[in-house]
Structure 1
Amino acid sequence: MIKREDENYSVHLTYLFEAVKQKRPRSLLVIVNPYGGKKAALRIWRKHVAPIFSLARIFFEVCGKNILTYNCLLVLFSSHPVTEYSGHAKDIVYKSNLKNYDGLVCIGGDGTFNEVLDAVISVDSDICLSPLPGGSTNCLAYTTCGVATPVTSALHIVLGNHRPLDCAQVFNQGALVKHVVTMMSYGFLGDVMRTSEKYRWMGPSRYDYAGFQRVMTPEFYYGRISFKRAVPLNDSETDREGWTHVEGEHLCVNIAVCRCQCAKCPGGMAPQNKLDDGIADLILVGKCSRTAYIHHLLKLSDINEDHFNFKFVKHERITELKYNALGDTSSCWNIDGELLFTSNLHLIMKKKLIEIFAPPYIQ
């Protein structure tokens, strides 16, 4: 929260706002999910974000309710409408006239942003979005802003910093079912997410606990993966239409749409990835021992290590992918931290599909 006695900070910020006032957003729709991560989204909004918006004299409406103000006192002492049920964020988007706003701010985790994104695209809006960190991993905020802190994201919003962002569209039997902005994963990370649902009362620690359980009892899934490389190659696995086919057992099938950086993976799941080049990274983890996979996971946490440098790991840069489960058992997909209980999917990358509030200099 900006303290009153810090007059110099306020004065400098006011001058800065005046310098860029032509480009800054004037009105925002704010969606707060109080249930994600450590359940701190409402506190983040009240303590860190609302005071900055108020100082910038930005009108904001919270969760579709009639709190349209830039008066910080009203924010601090009024009751705060928040999302109340699964799918509420989508309903807010559907019921709102997005043309009345210069931006839509999602205070929550990656799953909250994904839910809002699906709704915004379905109503054919080009409104600028902001993934303001208030969840467990906050992967998108970390990747696009370089750090997952609410104040940093809020300042980029009030300054009007924005940039294009790639998305992936996911289809099942020809029907569009989901959009992806961070990562979708089948196998290990899907199993971890599914197992963690039993322990929601543990908060973010449930992912570590579920991850430990799944590492101790790894499961391999047999399937066929077909993909198109960003740069086509002539090899025995590639057909005339440019599809490369891989069939076999895998512990994990990961598709990273962005670098997927977070506190536990500061270098990112896909360090080479760029935010707006229309290319995703396919990371296949084949059959391996438990010890070898743990070694692979540990390298993810070290920015100086190469987690692709294993014989059982295959890395490709792709623009399109199809997955078909062929085994007797199946996993589920973990898409931006949300579960999708469908094995067979078709993913297509879409270059610069949306605009988000974030520094344009981060690639």
Structure 2
Amino acid sequence: MGKPGPILREIFKVGERPFSVFLFQHQLAWCPQKKGGEDMSEWINVKLKDILSAEIVHKMGPLKGESNCCFPYSPTKKGISYPFQVLQIAYAQMTNKDSEKWTDVRLELKHNDFTILTKWAQTIQYFLAEFDRPKNLLFFVNPFGGRGNAVSIFNSLMQPILQLCQVKSTVIQTKRQNHVSDVLRAMSDDELMSYDAVVAVGGDGTICEVVNGLLTRRLNNLTDSDFTPAPIPVAVISAGSTNAVAYTLHGTDDPRTAIIHIVLGSPVPLDVASVHNDSGLLRFIVGQMSYGYLADLMLRSENLRWMGPQRYKYAGFREFLNHSTYEGSIDIRPASEECRKIPSQCSGDKGCEDCISLDSMSSTSQQWKRIEGNFVGVSAANISLRNPMTPLGIAPFAHFADGCMELILIRKTSRLGHLRYLHRTTGDSRRTFALPFVERYRVREFVFTPMQCNTKHLQQHITLDDVPPRQPASCKCDFGQEKTHSFWNCDGELLFQPSVRVCAHSNLIQVLSRNHKDRERTRSPSSGDGNDYSQCATVSSSLSFTQSPSAATDEEIDASVIMLQDDESNNTSLNDVRF
């Protein structure tokens, strides 16, 4: 096997500096060109899967008094604008090493030979076409969520990137609750399948509506338990009051990062939980559902929407002072012992080894087990539920696709104890499970029954002889009277049914996101090149587009750099290139 080499090599100019540019099978790399060869100390590379587009752009520019690769020097025409073309490559890059935010960067390569620009553009486009990226997206924009700026976010941040990547978009603004679900259920199969994904621009409630609409399209009745996976992937962009699902999937609540992940990302499997009572299916849950403190907080905040996102802090403080506790029983079907002994964090991609192993182990569940007590809160999470105030999420050990839920019980404790729990969630939330009143279970299924309820038939315990236990009965309590029990906060929406049965379903949906393993920071040009990220240049083409390439893998890039330094025949001198 011969030495690995680039598919294309050329010298381009960006601004006034010449750079050697190399196109490998998996990466685009460049470094400054100097007399005698390349300056490998400033070697920069971008993975092809991070490239958004490559196209020829027509521009107008004045002469600057010296010859360059775009137009010849002519003193008599100095200062006059001339048309010229550049190869513009847009790629995604993390803003800095301490942030998960991404931005789009433009790299402009200039050359006097238009055929070279065209060949490079066509070659890069050929490789980009190999990626299975979405080309037609259906957007549901919630103009009422959060600060009410979802429409402006879409127009100012998302549309330019969609146009850059030549992605078609259909936009529907939601007008009421359940509007998204109703539209998706009413769509014909042909119309729905014409889209590559459905994107929710809003909060946790909006993406939950998308998932509910897709999963209930083919349900004959609400008592069905054999659910069909969603026919197309989904995605979410932060623009709501609570954005835990988007934050967990993208590592940030930045909308620009989310749209970049969506246009570049591949489908990642995600578990979904179904919620039932004796009437049948109530809804599906994407992120979490909470009983007690977090549900009471949500109910109080509903009357404070005029405060914006700050209402959650105020409502949380008021409920903390109330310090309500609720008695109940929880029947759980735990995952296997081996599954419960793995307190690992999800890597967030379809190759997560723990997701694969946990899913296979969780299929062999243990016998039903009953837990009774007085609880400050009960939470069930499909994902970790990260957010700016809880960096690791309230369920840091939850996995995307392990077929289980993380069930977290906060037993009755003092206000000081509850404060300790809340404080620990704002840092390393894994430390919350060291508190004596906090319990964590990895379960496939659970049934919650409140002990304080005006409806007598709800007070009847579900017997463990029922395998599985029968569906819990509907609550007939009058919430206008003195509250005897709490209710459920389901992905930011309130469910006034305290007694529920919740089941985890493996891989019911696919979400468009950048895999965590793909979130490797692309090195930016050195400070010596200025703040213009488009500082780049080219080299003479050594292989034609129709020629069988000597493809270099990612691991061979470093070897290729050494080869280019040692092998003078592979160097194109600055004197050999006509600008």
Q: For CA contacts below 8 A with separation 6 or more, give which structure has more relative contact order.
A: 2
* Same amino acid, percent of matched pairs: 33
Report what 1:349 is aligned to.
504
1:205 to 307, 310, 333: 310
SS state of the match for residue 336, structure 2? coil
| 1:104 to partner: Cα distance | 0.6
1:113 aligns with 2:207: yes
Mapped contact 1:144–1:362 kept (Cα < 8 A)? no
1:285 aligns with 2:434: no
| 1:251 to partner: Cα distance | 0.7
CA distance in 2, matches of 1:311, 1:138: 30
Question: 1:109–1:304: structure 2 CA closer, same or farther, 3 Å change rule?
Answer: closer
2:242 to 137, 158, 176: 137
Q: Which amino acid aligns with 1:90?
A: S
CA distance in 1, matches of 2:254, 2:126: 24
Mapped contact 2:272–2:505 kept (Cα < 8 A)? yes
| 1:160 to partner: Cα distance | 4.0
Question: 1:48–1:162: structure 2 CA closer, same or farther, 3 Å change rule?
Answer: same
2:319 to 214, 236, 239: 214
Question: 1:18–1:293: structure 2 CA closer, same or farther, 3 Å change rule?
Answer: farther
Question: 1:17–1:286: structure 2 CA closer, same or farther, 3 Å change rule?
Answer: farther
Report what 1:254 is aligned to.
379
1:52 to 156, 161, 167: 161
Mapped contact 1:20–1:159 kept (Cα < 8 A)? no
CA distance in 2, matches of 1:232, 1:322: 20
Report what 2:176 is aligned to.
85
| 1:248 to partner: Cα distance | 1.4
Report what 2:456 is aligned to.
none
Q: Deviations over 1:315-347 (max 9, x none)?
A: 111111100011141111000111000011001
Q: Which amino acid aligns with 1:264?
A: M
Q: Deviations over 1:212-264 (max 9, x none)?
A: 1100011111111010111259xxxxxx9701101111010011111111111
Mapped contact 1:321–1:348 kept (Cα < 8 A)? yes
CA distance in 2, matches of 1:358, 1:271: 19
Larger radius of gyration: 2
Mapped contact 2:264–2:514 kept (Cα < 8 A)? no
CA distance in 1, matches of 2:392, 2:517: 14
CA distance in 1, matches of 2:397, 2:366: 26
Question: 1:20–1:277: structure 2 CA closer, same or farther, 3 Å change rule?
Answer: farther
Q: Which amino acid aligns with 2:487?
A: C
1:152 to 254, 257, 266: 257
Q: Return the TM-score normalized by structure 2.
A: 0.55
Mapped contact 1:187–1:253 kept (Cα < 8 A)? yes
SS state of the match for residue 306, structure 2? helix
| 1:359 to partner: Cα distance | 2.1
Q: Return the TM-score normalized by structure 1.
A: 0.87
Q: Which amino acid aligns with 2:319?
A: R
Question: 1:108–1:194: structure 2 CA closer, same or farther, 3 Å change rule?
Answer: same
1:275 to 378, 397, 400: 400
1:314 to 408, 422, 439: 439
Report what 1:339 is aligned to.
494
CA distance in 2, matches of 1:226, 1:17: 55
| 1:289 to partner: Cα distance | 0.7
| 1:134 to partner: Cα distance | 0.9
Report what 1:72 is aligned to.
none
Q: Which amino acid aligns with 1:267?
A: L
Q: What residue ranges of structure 1 are gaps of 5+ in the alignment?
A: 64-81, 234-239
Q: Deviations over 1:8-35 (max 9, x none)?
A: 5476598876533341111111110011
Q: How does 1:31-110 map to 2 (within 5 A)?
A: 31-63=140-172, 82-96=173-187, 97-110=191-204
CA distance in 1, matches of 2:142, 2:274: 24
SS state of the match for residue 303, structure 2? helix
Q: Deviations over 1:118-143 (max 9, x none)?
A: 01111144111001111123111111
Q: Which amino acid aligns with 1:214?
A: E
| 1:95 to partner: Cα distance | 3.4
CA distance in 2, matches of 1:226, 1:38: 39
Mapped contact 1:221–1:331 kept (Cα < 8 A)? yes
CA distance in 2, matches of 1:55, 1:275: 31
CA distance in 1, matches of 2:377, 2:442: 16
CA distance in 2, matches of 1:17, 1:108: 32
CA distance in 2, matches of 1:227, 1:323: 9
CA distance in 2, matches of 1:49, 1:18: 25
Report what 1:122 is aligned to.
216
Question: 1:166–1:16: structure 2 CA closer, same or farther, 3 Å change rule?
Answer: farther
CA distance in 1, matches of 2:126, 2:235: 22
SS state of the match for residue 307, structure 1? helix
CA distance in 1, matches of 2:444, 2:296: 25
Mapped contact 2:211–2:286 kept (Cα < 8 A)? no
Question: Which deviates further from its counterpart, 203-212 or 82-91?
Answer: 82-91
